[in-house]
Chain A
Amino acid sequence: MTTQTLSKAAPGKTTKAMAISSEALSYAWSEQTTPIKFPDIQLAVGEHLFLQGASGSGKSTLLALLSGLAVPLHGTLGIMGQDLPGMSSGQRDRFRADHLGVIFQQFNLVPYLSVLGNVLLPCHLSARRRNQTLPTPEAEAETLLTALNIAPELWHRKVTGMSVGQQQRVAAARALIGSPALILADEPTSALDADNRDRFIDLLLGQAETRQTSVVFVSHDQALAPHFRQHLMLETQS
């Protein structure tokens, strides 16, 4: 399996600090499987990348590498100028807590925590994220939830009764709180209808823009591409 890139570099951004900088990345889930090779990525701080690819193209694997949950077989990977593969497992966990926000396709929330409990989770795991909230973690969580159209009466309720669209927006608030450097979104709109999908992307990217947070947005849906200036396509080749 190989991958190929179809990126459109943003003009005039080459001198900015890089959120992601990877070169000749490859990964194998086991010794028996053929390694997946990934295209090089250069994503400046505050930029948003649309990562497109069909099922089996290695999108989630790439996200696992970018999040530090997996370590590449070969190649270099820098996140916010830090050599992620060179860190220990514990350092990568800490780095993820401090600098990354993650949004999944669905079932994004811890079922036994309230809406606010879910949003505040990163602040409990990272002092840096907690200190970056303004003025307090609770106040920022409420600001984010309001901005993402989650009604106040839902804030203290369990998340299990909410619609998928509401759950995804709560997940976005959790990813954004404490202004992490990078948000990894793994097909977060695949369970939403077209209206909710566009509104979700606009809200997410708008908030990310405000915080100078870089976003890697994974989807197999080509219709979302216009929301992004940088694109990367992973292709499956047998």
Chain B
Amino acid sequence: MKFRLATSLAFASLWHRRGVLGLVTLTLTLSITLLLGVQYLRTEVRQSFSNTISGTDLIVGARSGQLNLLLYTVFHLGDATNNIRWSTYQTLKEDDRIDWLVPISLGDSLKGYRVVGTDDGFLRHFRYGNEQALKLEDGAWFRDVFDVVLGAEVARELNHVVGDDIVLSHGTGSVSFMNHKDTPFEVTGILKPTGTPVDRAVYVSLEGLEAIHIGWESGVALPDRTVTPEQARSRDLTPGNITAALVGIERKVLTFQVQRQINESQAEPLSAILPGVALSELWRVLGQFEKALLGITGFVVVTSLIGLTAVLLTLQAQRRQEITILRATGASPSLIASLYLLECVLLSVVACVIAIGLGAAAIALLGPWLLEQQGIQIGLRGLNGSEWIILACVPAASLLVAMIPAWRAWRGSHHQGLSATSHE
């Protein structure tokens, strides 16, 4: 009965002071939304990050560290230290344990977006997210030497549509003075957004890359050595080397065996990495930042709770008469103290509920826009265990900070007479 009385008194008291407490609750709500949002995004980004590439068992490149290889093949960051000979690639292709191989050739760009030389195996075998295959928004995958397929962000940012002619630049800088202007490409397809680095890449055939580099053997276009597209087509466009290869293993149990064999290759120094392991290692490095961010937002919530306590302490002075009445009517000091605890916890629970609603609304509204505009895939889902724990920490922390006014009230009630103002 006492708990019911305390709860009904706490509700009535909160409603009575809704003006001032509403503002404090708003502050608390916003800070909880921020905290929950950061945690939610952390989970989503980590998920999205680890889903950047899936279904690929090994990535093979010239001998280097696994992070470097992962960064330039999957994230298109940095450059390869060396190339793989085409003959080595062909040898790997003949290995029975290998189900499929997709070549990757890097080195050129389109206004800062990396150009990836590959073949149609990329469309067939590359997977991201939950084993999702690439899909074309418009047009078709390249068939001709001078066809090009654009990632969703590239097409959107550079305003290209199927049928446009584009000129690739030599090198990977965002501004290049060396353009392959003699050999323009035609956009034949635009990929659907994936929320991965695929959106920020330009895909051409290996033959196309070979063709535009005829006459560029020294790194710059030599006069009279460059060719027209027609002349290029008549040449043998088999590449001499490629940057890396994505590998699918026939029987997954053999993955480590194939990896070890490639790493110990006598033909040329190679590195074969497991994408999942490399992604986890990369996330461990990047994860420090998001942990710091979560810590900061945690402090924002704590600050809001301290603000709430300050308001409750200020209100305490105004509530002396009310507490005197309750004490005179027979309420125990514990009941008075529990009022403060209940009010603080109720406020934080209300703030949590509103924060969940606000967060859900924000994700529902901004999710499609984020994928479309920023290539970040964030969908609405139920809260996971760690998010519930973080959320539950808020009422728990509010209970803790409410101990201050509650203890003061409890102590004051013990020394209280029948008068709220003076001891006559």
**Which A residues lie at the B interface, using CB under 8 A?**
29, 55-61, 63-64, 67, 69-70, 89-90, 93-94, 96-98, 100, 102, 104, 107-113, 117, 121-122, 124-127, 174, 184, 186
Contact = CB atoms under 8 A, between A and B. Distances in A.
A174 B15 CA distance: 23
Interface string B387-424: 00000000000000000000000000010111110111
A108 to B, nearest CB: 7
Contacts of B12: 112-113, 117
B416 A125 contact: no
Given A55-B424, A110-B322, A125 B418 contact: no
Instruction: Kindly name the residue among A67, A69, A90, A97 whose own CB sees the greatest number of chain B CB atoms within 10 A.
Output: A69
Nearest to A68: B330
Interface in B294-341: 321-322, 324-333
A125 B5 contact: yes
Given A29-B423, A60-B424, A126-B330, A89 B5 contact: no
Given A61-B424, A108-B325, A113-B12, A122 B418 contact: no
Contact of B414 (A67, A89, A110): A89
Nearest to A56: B424
Looking at chain B, what size class is its interface with the partner chain?
Answer: 20 to 34
B423 A60 contact: yes
Interface of B: 1-2, 5, 9, 12-13, 15-17, 321-322, 324-333, 414, 416-420, 422-424
A70 B418 CA distance: 9
Contacts of B325: 104, 108-110
A94 B330 contact: yes
Contact of B417 (A61, A89, A98): A61
Contacts of B322: 110-111
Nearest to A67: B418
Contacts of A108: 325
Contact of A124 (B1, B16, B332, B424): B1
A177 B419 CA distance: 22
21 contacts: A29-B423, A60-B417, A67-B328, A67-B418, A69-B328, A69-B418, A70-B417, A89-B333, A89-B414, A90-B332, A96-B329, A102-B328, A110-B322, A110-B325, A112-B17, A122-B330, A125-B329, A125-B330, A125-B331, A127-B1, A186-B418
B414 A112 contact: no
A23 to B, nearest CB: 21
A109 B329 CA distance: 11
A69 B423 CA distance: 12
A93 B332 contact: yes
B322 to A, nearest CB: 5
Nearest to B423: A29
B330 A98 contact: yes
Contacts of B324: 104
B422 to A, nearest CB: 8
B97 to A, nearest CB: 76
A90 B334 CA distance: 10
Given A55-B424, A61-B424, A110-B322, A174 B329 contact: yes
A93 B332 CA distance: 6
A55 B423 CA distance: 11
Given A100-B328, A104-B419, A125-B2, 19 more contacts: A56-B424, A60-B418, A64-B419, A67-B328, A69-B327, A69-B416, A93-B327, A93-B330, A93-B332, A96-B329, A97-B330, A109-B325, A111-B322, A112-B15, A112-B17, A125-B331, A127-B1, A186-B418, A186-B419
The 5 A-B residue pairs whose C-beta atoms are closest, nearest first, are: A97-B330, A112-B16, A64-B417, A60-B424, A102-B328
A180 to B, nearest CB: 10
Nearest to A174: B329
A90 B325 CA distance: 17
A113 B13 CA distance: 8
A98 B417 CA distance: 18
A56 B423 CA distance: 9
Contact of A93 (B5, B9, B331): B331
A112 B13 contact: yes
Contacts of A104: 324-325, 328, 418-419
A69 B326 CA distance: 12
A121 B414 CA distance: 20
B418 A107 contact: no
Contacts of B422: 60
Contacts of B1: 124, 127
B390 to A, nearest CB: 33
A122 B326 CA distance: 9
Contacts of A117: 12
Nearest to B2: A125
Instruction: Kindly name the residue among B5, B331, B420 whose own CB sees the greatest number of chain A CB atoms within 10 A.
Output: B331
A57 B327 CA distance: 23
Contacts of A111: 16, 322
A70 B417 CA distance: 6
B423 A102 contact: no
A89 B15 CA distance: 31
B413 to A, nearest CB: 9
B417 A69 contact: yes
A186 to B, nearest CB: 6
Contacts of A67: 328, 418
Contacts of B331: 93, 97, 125
Contacts of A110: 9, 322, 325-326
Instruction: Kindly name the residue among A29, A108, A121 whose own CB sees the greatest number of chain B CB atoms within 10 A.
Output: A121
A61 B422 CA distance: 10
A174 B325 CA distance: 11
Contacts of B329: 96-97, 102, 121-122, 125, 174
